[in-house]
């Protein structure tokens, strides 16, 4: 892999498109509840990064495709590592909602 490949950030737009096409996939937003209420991707679920230890209540099947995002990509990267360490086998970090160009919702 080239140095440029290492520096490339995930593309949230492509990630959401892939998640929507994959049966049973979950778009997981790991931002705070307040951030989630301000703006979110329709159909996403919110489990803040510091509450990931409770994810098995919402996503019990560890082979579920999980597409993780946050605001800029830092928390989603950490969350993807944590989920993999918890035994989730199909985790993709799709980066930050700050780069998302699709429809969002509030409230």
DSSP, collapsed to helix, strand or coil, labels residue 61 as: coil
How many of the other CB atoms lie within 10 Å of CB of 20? Answer: 14
Q: Is-catalytic flag, 70? A: yes
Query: What tokens were used for 72?
Result: 């800029």
Q: What are phi and psi of 25, to 5 degrees?
A: -70, 150
Catalytic hit among 27, 41, 68, 70: 70
What amino acid positions are annotated as catalytic residues? Answer: 70
């Amino acid at each position: 892999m080239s140095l440029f490949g290492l520096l490339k950030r995930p593309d949230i737009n492509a990630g959401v498109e892939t998640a929507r096409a994959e049966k049973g996939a979950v778009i997981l937003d790991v931002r705070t509840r307040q951030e989630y209420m301000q703006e979110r991707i329709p159909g996403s679920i919110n489990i803040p990064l510091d509450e990931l230890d409770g994810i098995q209540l919402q996503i019990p099947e560890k082979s579920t495709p999980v597409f993780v995002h946050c605001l800029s990509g830092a928390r989603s990267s950490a969350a993807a590592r944590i989920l993999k360490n918890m035994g989730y086998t199909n985790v993709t970090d799709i980066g930050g909602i700050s780069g998302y160009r699709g429809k969002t919702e509030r409230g």
